[in-house]
A and B are shown apart, each in its own frame.
Chain A
Amino acid sequence: MPAKASRAAFGEALLELAAKDDRIVTLDADLSKSTMTAAFARAYPGRAFNLGIAESNMVGLGAGLALTGKIPFVCSFACFVVGRFETIRISVAYTNANVKIVGTHAGIAIGEDGYSQMGLEDIACMRALPNVPVVQPADELETRQAIAWAVEHEGPVYLRLTRQNLEPVCPVGYRFRFGGWLVLRPGTDVTLIGTGGTVFNCLEAAKLLAAEGVSAEVIDAACIKPLDEESLLASAGKTGHVVTAEDHSIAGGLGGAVAEALGEALPTPMRRLGVQGFGESGDAKGLYAKHGLDPAGIAGSVRKFLNR
């Protein structure tokens, strides 16, 4: 499989699933070309609703549709849709409406558009809501599986997708399991946990580290909520060192979730890699390097952490 953005894989998966399930509808706020639901809208014009640049109304309207039996995919950039947090909190989460909230353009990887378009606090926000799982797939295969799962899952879901292409990381035949993590590379010295766009970089970092004699176990944490505590504790118990890497604020995201779980169940030395402060315009590669999320940066942080 060639590299593909998870937003693109989402658009294709939705088109396929919609052919078999007429409950699926899409809601957009003038970004359907970017969230990749435009093809769905062309194929199913009566099931695609572009509500203009009015995300709060889109979220609430999605809740109402869900309460009549539809399965609405409510789509925008992660920052814009999660920015309507209070509507998500009451109309979707508390109402327990079967709405699939899709936040694309996650993280600093969107690059040139700069901070105002970057979803950087969305995991932290959504993780705090009862009743809403948070899922961020790492490649095309996992995205397709996660979307199919979301259709079947009764209840709200938050799906976090990328603008940038993602290299394939999941093995052929991989099956997404809700609440399950995937060990992509076994190791003994340190546990490297990535999610979405950072998973491939964790694998690359593990290769760099291997050349120096450091054995890193790499985990794809597609399920940020709920965490796969069993996999986390097994790996942390084995390596004794945990590093998380995410294209999200360093506060409240995957690293925060892992720290909370380990702190209670198995206190383990750890490092959280993520975005500090606001993002900024620039090329994605340069931004990842600046925030230490590229393979060299991740490997460097691990080296320092392990005192190697």
Chain B
Amino acid sequence: MADARLETIARECRVQIIRMLTHAGSGHPGGSLSVIDVLTALFFGRLRHDPRRPDWPDRDRVVLSKGHAVPALYAVMAKTGYFPESRLVTLRKLGSPLQGHPDRTALPGIEAATGSLGQGLSISLGLALGLRLRQAPARVYCILGDGEIQEGQVWEAAMAAPKLGGPAHGLDNLTVVLDYNKIQLDNFVAKILDLEPVLAKWQAFGWSVLEIDGHDFEQINKALDQAEATVGPVIVVAHTVKGRGVSFMENDPEWHGKAPKPAEAIRAIRDILGVPEAEWSGHLARHPETKALADELAALGAK
């Protein structure tokens, strides 16, 4: 079943997220781990794209508006062949195309500079409209953070989208996913500036709204299918868990923007792989690749 395949890929991507953030010594694990399942579903089987031709005019576009989660995007890009996986450890290092937040001019495959929150939906509207105007068979996927939609520009774009280009060039090619992990930098979203009722807000602005568990591949894929079949722009509100997959990061605002220390990273990877502590050394003995990774991270700690 496709889900088992995607589960495996997403697990591997989670490991790479932890790895690159540990090498970088800074970055945003929580939101990267919450959004990775949606990105995995998009990049493995959903997108019409060609990693060898990132400038293919008719490619589907992914705009990661919550740009701080870019380690997740880099992980799926490396795995689909946009660049070698070995380059992931250059994240945030001087001279690397893997900037701390997405830089379109630095890395082919990045569609827009994002990370200054609130801007990606407007860019996505422009992309979707431009593609519709020339009748390109391409879709645009925009991923918003939950805290991000506190930005006013998001609602300017939300108000414009259902009417834009129509009726001749209405946006039937735009799917937005809200990574609703309930935590922003300072605290829980509900404690900073509650979004609720968030579904009603988007509905009131004229959007088709779907609600799913953003870690359930069956639900993700069903929603993406449904979005494609819907007339007009669609937002998929994906309930997610910040830090998903790493027990000590889950649902903890502390892990919004803090890289794990090497020892924590090894624990995180053990968690992601679902190996009990008592069985870890045995697991490493049977899995030389994981052993090499654990050694690589341990060596960072020894520095």
Binding site for B on A (CB under 8 A): 46, 49, 51-52, 54, 56-70, 72, 86-87, 89-91, 94-97
Contact = CB atoms under 8 A, between A and B. Distances in A.
Interface in B154-208: 156-157, 159-160, 164-165, 168-169
A142 B209 CA distance: 50
Interface string B109-141: 001111110111111111111110110100000
B153 A67 contact: no
Contacts of A51: 156, 160, 164
B153 A87 contact: yes
A50 to B, nearest CB: 10
Contacts of B281: none
Given A52-B160, A87-B122, A69 B103 contact: no
B122 A89 contact: no
B105 interface: yes
Interface of B: 57, 103-105, 111-116, 118-131, 133-134, 136, 152-153, 156-157, 159-160, 164-165, 168-169
A67 B157 contact: no
Contact of A68 (B103, B131, B164, B165): B131
A96 B118 CA distance: 18
Contacts, number: 115
Given A95-B113, A95-B123, 6 more contacts: A54-B159, A56-B122, A60-B119, A64-B122, A91-B122, A95-B104
A82 B221 CA distance: 41
A91 B113 contact: yes
6 contacts: A60-B125, A60-B126, A65-B130, A68-B134, A90-B113, A97-B112
A204 B62 CA distance: 55
Contacts of A54: 156, 159-160
Contact of A65 (B114, B129, B152): B129
B130 A69 contact: yes
B148 to A, nearest CB: 13
B152 A94 contact: no
A91 B119 contact: yes
Contacts of A59: 122
A87 B157 CA distance: 13
Contact of A57 (B111, B113, B125, B168): B125
Scoring B114, B119, B121, B152 by chain A CB atoms within 10 A of each residue's CB, the highest score goes to: B119
A54 B159 CA distance: 10
Contacts of B57: 68-69
A263 to B, nearest CB: 31
Contact of B156 (A56, A67, A90): A56
Contact of A46 (B121, B122, B169): B169
Contacts of B164: 49, 51
B59 to A, nearest CB: 11
B127 A68 contact: yes
A63 B126 contact: yes
Nearest to B104: A95
Contacts of A94: 103-105, 113
Nearest to A29: B156
A61 B129 contact: yes
A59 B160 CA distance: 13
Given A57-B153, A60-B119, A70 B113 contact: no
B185 to A, nearest CB: 18
B133 A70 contact: yes
Nearest to A84: B153
Contacts of A87: 116, 119, 122, 153
B163 to A, nearest CB: 9
B119 A90 contact: yes
Scoring B121, B136, B156, B160 by chain A CB atoms within 10 A of each residue's CB, the highest score goes to: B156
A57 B115 CA distance: 16
Top 8 A-B residue pairs of the complex, sorted by shortest distance between their CB atoms: A64-B126, A60-B122, A68-B130, A57-B156, A54-B156, A61-B126, A64-B127, A56-B153
Contacts of A69: 57, 130, 134
Given A56-B152, A67-B126, A68-B134, A61 B157 contact: yes
Contact of B116 (A52, A65, A68, A86): A86
Contacts of A62: 126
Contacts of B115: 90
B126 A68 contact: yes
B123 A67 contact: yes
B100 to A, nearest CB: 13
Scoring B103, B125, B164 by chain A CB atoms within 10 A of each residue's CB, the highest score goes to: B125
A51 B130 CA distance: 15
Contacts of B104: 94-96
Contacts of B129: 49, 61, 64-65
A95 B153 contact: no
B184 to A, nearest CB: 18
Nearest to B120: A60
B159 A95 contact: no
Scoring B113, B123, B169 by chain A CB atoms within 10 A of each residue's CB, the highest score goes to: B123
A49 B131 CA distance: 15
Contacts of B131: 68
A63 B129 CA distance: 11
A32 to B, nearest CB: 16
Contacts of A58: 122
A225 B103 CA distance: 24
